[in-house]
Structure 1
Amino acid sequence: MAFTVEAADCIAGMALLLSGYATWITLKFNKRQQSLIESQEKLNNLLLEKESNEAENSKKADLGASFIKLGSNKYRLKIWNKGTACATHVRIEFPEENNILIQSEIDEKFPLEMLETYQSVELIAGVHMGTKRKHAIRLIWSDASGENHQKVVYPTL
């Protein structure tokens, strides 16, 4: 029994090899395609998270306070809103003691009904030789994202 190879057998063998190579290339391409799809899905999720955070932050007010000097011996406490939303029902409290701001002026201006973005309010500060340099001030406000947000700031002279 002799085994003879004919032209048809060679063509069939070559077709089998070519088919195997094409299958291997297709599997390799599908792996790369799947990797690309996964990374694209991760990017889409990150974009959605970023957009939702931006939408959430657009509803928030961010209050701050600092002392400003207006000459040789005049100081003011400036409270401002640097957030993107309007702050409402703004209140001010002193966790320690208030020995620098005039209470009657605080009572006149606070609670502040509304503090728009980049708007500020100033309070006269009575600075003297015995005044400590750092003061704790609690700012309390409401905005579109919720009520009773608090922030303790430590403005210094």
Structure 2
Amino acid sequence: MSIDLSGGAAILALGLSCYSTWKTLQFNTKQEQLIESQRQLNALLADKEASELAEGKRAKLSAAFMKLGSSKYRLKVFNQGQATARDVRISFPAGNEVVLQSEVDAKFPLETLDRFQSVELIAVVGMRSPSKLTVQLDWLDEDGSDRSKTVHPTL
């Protein structure tokens, strides 16, 4: 069996065709992987956008003691969230031996607590006062969901 010039050209063309087909299949596989990766990234981005949108509708309330001067203390309730807290209520599940109840009754329930706004309650601290207070904060977010948070401010 002898191969002439046209037979050699046909074998070379067949080889190039097989190589081209193989490279095309490799390219298509990589392209499908890239498309899948982009789909996953788009899904993650959509989830992030949704969580940021939900976060923008949430208030983040907390409480901490502040020392004013040498012996004056205040319990500061503040909103660090992006949204306004409505119908803010405060309670002391483990008992209240530090904050004046008249202050609590006069200021709470609070109709609204805007972003970066705070409320201060007079705290009476003595030698026998507990160093930690359990404070439960309840409020409504802008989307109407009922939220609650328990914090443990320390003196």
When normalised by structure 1's length, the TM-score is: 0.95
Aligned to 2:132: 134
1:98 partner amino acid: N
1: distance between equivalents of 2:19 and 2:99? 83
Alignment correspondent of 2:35: 37
Query: Which of 28, 32, 49 is 2:47 aligned to?
Result: 49
How far off is 1:37 after superposition? 1.0
1:67 Cα deviation from its structure 2 partner: 0.5
* Secondary structure at the counterpart of residue 66 of structure 1: strand
Q: What residue ranges of structure 1 are gaps of 5+ in the alignment?
A: none
CA distance in 2, matches of 1:7, 1:147: 82
Alpha-carbon distance, 1:11 to partner: 1.4
Aligned to 1:149: 147
* DSSP-derived class of the 1:77 partner: strand
CA distance in 2 between partners of 1:148 and 1:26 (Å): 57
**Kindly tell me: are residues 13 and 147 of structure 1, through their superposed partners in 2, closer, same or farther at Cα, counting changes over 3 Å?**
closer
Distance 2:46 2:145 in 1: 26
CA distance in 1, matches of 2:24, 2:120: 70
Provide the TM-score with structure 2 as the length reference.
Answer: 0.96
1:147: Cα distance to partner? Answer: 3.2
**Does residue 93 of structure 2 align to residue 95 of structure 1?**
yes
- Give % identity: 50
RMSD (CA atoms): 1.0
Structure 1's consecutive aligned runs of 4 or more residues displaced over 3 angstroms after TM superposition are none
What letter matches 1:89 in structure 2?
D
How far does the alpha carbon of each residue in 1:62-86 deviate from its partner, in whole angstroms, 9 at most, with x for none?
0000000001110000000000000
